[in-house]
Amino acid sequence: MEVARRNASGMHPAERRLDEDALAKIDAITERHHNQPDALIEIYHEVQDAFGYIPEGALPRIARALNISRAEARGVFTFYHDFRAEPAGRHVVKICRAESCQAMGCRSLEAYAKQRLGIGLGETTSDGEITLEAVYCLGNCALSPAVMIDGRLYGKVDPDRFDALVENVKRRAAS
């Protein structure tokens, strides 16, 4: 059945949706890691850095290069929340949902952020400006609830501070 789904070149149908440049980038990344299965997570990080997300067609390509099953490749991909199947917005806002942040009100902050941005977790605003994500520990427990915006950590975030941080990011992007 797997063979029947591949074209004459041996590519999985999802791989055929990628252009030659994309396939070459993915191949270069896997080769840089000597096609070693234990480098799968590093390979995913590099593919995501190169494309902004991990294209669907990359999974069977990487699985074949590493000689692992597509199920294994997909399992690792879906296990880690940092790997994206779609491009993120220009800014990524992560709200910590670990125990300390929960104890300090992250759930109400999360509800506020969803309402304020008009999106759910894992979604991007319609203008492509902001992606809202959950994260399960930012290591900033003493300053809970914590938020990370474009890789920068903020503590003691309440709705007013959230609004100020988001407006600041938008303002910087506009200038």
What pLDDT does 32 receive? Answer: 97
User: 149 has which bridge partners?
Assistant: 93, 152
Q: What is the pTM of this model?
A: 0.74
Residue by residue, pLDDT tens for the chain (175 residues) are: 444 445 556 788 888 888 899 999 999 999 999 999 999 999 999 999 999 999 999 999 999 999 999 999 999 999 998 899 989 999 999 999 999 999 999 999 999 999 999 999 999 999 999 999 999 999 999 999 999 999 999 999 999 999 999 999 888 877 7
**Alpha carbon distance 154, 152 (integer Å):** 7
Burial-class residue 51 by CB neighbours within 10 Å (0-12, 13-18, 19+): middle
What pLDDT does 9 receive? Answer: 67
